[in-house]
Structure formats: C-alpha cells, structure tokens
Structure 1
Amino acid sequence: MIPATVSSSSAPPRPWQHRTPRARLALWFGWLGLAALFVWCWQVMTKDTIWFFVTDAPTQAADIGSRMWPPRVSYLPELLWPLWDTLNMATLGTLLGVVLAVPVAFLAARNTTPSALVLRPAALFVIVGSRSINSLIWALLLVAILGPGVLAGVIAIGLRSVGFIGKLLYEAIEETDVRQVEAVTATGASSAQVLSYAIVPQVLPAFWGITVFRWDINIRESAILGLVGAGGLGLKLQSSLNVLAWPQVTMILIVILATVVLSEWISARVRAAII
C-alpha cells in the first residue's frame, strides 16, 4: 500500500512572538519620541546653565562642608523656643486642618453628601485647591497679609492640611460597609443617627490615623516655613544662612532631623495602636 504523501500546501506553525511586527514598530517609535522629548527638555532646562559652576560644585560643597563642621553646640539653647514654635505651628495647623476638612470630607463623599450636583463638586474643588498649593506658598501669601509670625504659619499648615485630610477621609467614608448603614436605617433611624451610629464608628480609626500621619508631615513642613517669615526653626535657619554661620546651620539641621525622626516614631506607634 502506497503511503499518502503530505500536502505541500501545509506550512509549519509560526513561532510564538511576544509582540507583532506592528506593535514592535510602534514601541520603537514610542521610545524614539521619548528620547527626543528628553533631549529637548534637557536643552530647555540647561540653556542658561553656566557649566563652570557645575564643574566647580564639588569643590564648593567640600569647602562649605568643612566650614559646617563641627556644629556649634552652644547655639542649641537659642533653638529651644523656635523648636517649640515649630511644634505648636504643626499641632495647631493640624487641628485647624481637621476642623475644616471633616465637613468638607462628608460633603465630598457620595454616600453622605446632601447634594451630589452642587455641594459635592464644591467640596472636591476645595480639596483639589488645597492640595495644589504648597504650604510654603500659603505661608508666603499669609505673611504678606498678616505679617510675619507663627499665626501665618499655623493658617498655612491648616489650609494645606485640608486637602490631604479631606481626600483620604472622604475615600474612607465611601468605603464604609453598606450593610451596617442598611441595618441602622432599617430601625427607623434618622439621617443624623445613621451618620452617628453606622458611618462615624467605621471611619473613626482611619480618621485618627490620617490625623496623626498629617501631623507628622506638618512637623517637617513647619520647620522650613520660617524661610518666608512664618517663625520657627526656619527663621533661625534663614538668619544663619544670611550671615554664613555654617556651624549654626549644622546645629539647626541636626535639631530638625532629630525632631522629624522623633515625630516619625511617635506617628508610627500611634497609628499602629489605633489601626
């Protein structure tokens, strides 16, 4: 019996490829466009750069570093009161941010807002507006309005904190368990009672965690607001930089670093205990 011959029209299967030729070509053009964009951005950023100063930067950095060491420990007592101002600025600013952010968060959450067409967009606009302006810019504007001092720093920290606290809090409100809300509603509770007994208990741990986390961030931000006249350690840092007192600058940086590390430790412990 003559065996059947294999048809010459049947071709072997093509090997598997991760991308089609068209996809590889598009990816290649994408990387080419990204490289061209990088080169153009680099030219725009460096068109006014004086490269002599760039090449001389390591020498200048080593010179300033030698002047900054050792730190002037005798300057530490003069930093205690500015440090206290910095801590008060961060704490009071966080409290102000919480007071302003809580109603904004409940207005921005879909499940608690009384008006999804008017109040919710307005609350979201407040949150976005607060988050889009840095606390240093807020402090600069408020120092021009209120004058230099800790009050401008407190309000700047508070206005900046509204967006952060409000965003995280309204997301936590929207993620509450609907079954608990339905259970309380089924008892004939009013809207205020549903809010008090079904939503707030679920949100409370997240609220305290967000507040402590924001306080930790505000410690860092309030330490530099004195650069624009808002008081605290930043004011001492600015005055020391103006007179080129580099050992004092080192001492201020050490105090700021120690304060930030301590606030980070306290924040982590408190959030671990709450959450």
Structure 2
Amino acid sequence: MVDAEATSHRVWRRRSPAQTVRRLLLQLTVAAAVVWSLRTVDIFWPWVVDAPWQIADLFARMVPPDFSSSRSIVEALLDTLNIAVIATILAIILAMPVALIAAQNTTPNRATLWLARVILVSSRSVNTLIWALLFVAIFGPGVLAGILAIAFRSIGFLGKLMGEAIEEIDRRPVEAIQATGGSRAKVILYGIVPQVVPNFFAVSILRWDINLRESTVLGLVGAGGIGLLLQSAIDTFAWQTVATILLAIIAMVLLGEAVSGWLRRKVI
C-alpha cells in the first residue's frame, strides 16, 4: 500500500539530477568556447568605435550615384546573368548522373555510392570564390572561369538534393516495371524520373537563384561579371560609380527573385 503522506510530498522536477548536470556542463562548455573565440580574435576597438562615422562618410561620398557608366554596367550585368544561367545548366547536366549513383536505391554498388558522396562533399566544401581562383589560375581571368566555378560549386547542392529525392520515391512503380522485364534504363526513365520531376525543377530554380547572387562577386577574383567593375571602382575610389553598381546588382537580384517565383508557380 502506498503511503499517502509520502506521495503528497513528492516534488515534480522537469529534469533529473543527471540531466541537470549534463545541461550545466554543456552551457559551461559553450560559454568557454565563446570566451576563447573572442580572445583569439584580434579586434582593433578604436576602429570599431569610429565605424559609424566612417559609414556615414562613405555613404556621403556615394551620393549622388554616377550613371555615366550605365552602358558598361548593363553589359557586365548581362555577363553575370549569362554566367548564372550557363553554369546552372552545366551543373544540372553533371549533377544528374552523380545523383543517380548517390542514391542508395539506384547506385550500382558501394564503390559508386562512396565515389558520388566524395564528389558531393568536395563540391560543397570548397567555396565558390576558391573555385573561381583555381579556374582563373587554369584558364585565365574571364567568364569561363566564372561559369566553371559556379557549376562545380552547384554540383554538390543539386546532386545531394536530387539524390535524396530519388531515395524517397515510391518503390511500387519501379517494382511493377521490373516485374514486366523492363531494363534498368526504362526503370529510371518511367519509374523514377516522373516522380522526381517536380523536385528537380524546384531545386534547379532555387540553385539558379543562388547562382545569380554568387555570380555578382566573381569579378572580385577576376572571374568576370559585374564584380569586375565593382572591384575596379573600389580600387579607384569612384564611390559614386560603386553606388550605381550596387543599385544595379540589387535590381538584378530582385528581378531574379521575381522570375524564380514566377517559374515556381508556372512549372511546379
């Protein structure tokens, strides 16, 4: 028989003593990591204090924007747009076979599965600007280096999401085609592709939207596009031209956002 007096004195606790200790240790570890990180960062505090006045002075130098270079800015924006479009198409072509061997239900064997994962991780681990530096060193400065940099960075993104979509397909259509003696190509074409087409378009449009933003800074390392004009204007202290270029980049990104939203509504 349960003692009623002992039951009435029970105190409800959200966590057990062990959970409380683990939570406290975790909080102390995070706090120690933050303190250690701040101590290793070399910050010149007088510049930080002076930053608001420097920002105000910089904006004053940018006003009013100089539109005398509008033609060259528009041409550079078109180069930037072409980089994003061509790189996205190239990345889709290269990512599709990688996605097929990265998915556990379509990969031929464990060796191809790990090969695909190495490709995907390598692509995502290297930043776009680093890819651009490598291709500028190989092919020289220009649009080609920018296209390849964006494309190689996009393979990991597209391949991973498409591979996950392939792994989540309904197996019944695939098994039905296999039961009728369909070849592996027919299984992929009629059993897998129709199920992943909506995801394919969604991921491709999203990646193009991302690539449009990333292509604006490739010129900073010589890989073509509007970033090349921006770097030149900054180097010559032409702040009014810098303001015009920044406004043009913002306008292009906003237009790209509107186009990608329209494509999602029409295609997906």
TM-score range, shorter chain: over 0.9
Q: Which aligned pairs between 1:197-208 and structure 2 lie closer than 5 A?
A: 197-208=190-201
1:80 partner letter:
V
The equivalent residue for 1:4 is none
Off by >4 Å, runs of 4+ in structure 1: 7-10
Matches of 1:91 and 1:257 in 2, distance apart? 18
The equivalent residue for 2:253 is 260
Q: Which aligned pairs between 1:203-222 and structure 2 lie closer than 5 A?
A: 203-222=196-215
Matches of 2:50 and 2:65 in 1, distance apart? 25
Query: Identity rate of aligned residues, in percent?
Result: 50
Q: Find the partner of 1:245 among 238, 244, 255.
A: 238
The equivalent residue for 1:142 is 135
Matches of 1:148 and 1:189 in 2, distance apart? 49
Matches of 1:32 and 1:195 in 2, distance apart? 52
In the alignment, structure 2 segments of 5+ residues that lack a partner are: none
Q: Find the partner of 2:61 among 45, 63, 67.
A: 67
2:147 partner letter:
V
1:205 partner letter:
P
Q: Find the partner of 1:234 among 224, 227, 236.
A: 227
Q: Residue 24 of structure 1: CA displacement?
A: 2.3
Q: Residue 140 of structure 1: CA displacement?
A: 0.7
Q: Taking structure 1 as the reference length, what is the TM-score of the superposition?
A: 0.92
1:19 partner letter:
R
Q: Residue 16 of structure 1: CA displacement?
A: 1.0
2:84 partner letter:
A
The equivalent residue for 1:123 is 116
The equivalent residue for 2:182 is 189
The equivalent residue for 1:35 is 31
Q: Find the partner of 2:167 among 153, 166, 174.
A: 174
Change over 3 Å in CA distance of 1:176–1:253 after alignment to 2:
same
Matches of 1:150 and 1:9 in 2, distance apart? 81
Q: Residue 266 of structure 1: CA displacement?
A: 1.0
Q: Which aligned pairs between 1:40-119 and structure 2 lie closer than 5 A?
A: 40-45=36-41, 48-115=42-109, 117-119=110-112
Matches of 1:32 and 1:168 in 2, distance apart? 36
Corresponding pairs, count: 266
Change over 3 Å in CA distance of 1:124–1:22 after alignment to 2:
closer
Tell me, yes or no, if structure 1 residue 20 matches structure 2 residue 16: yes
Q: Residue 9 of structure 1: CA displacement?
A: 9.8
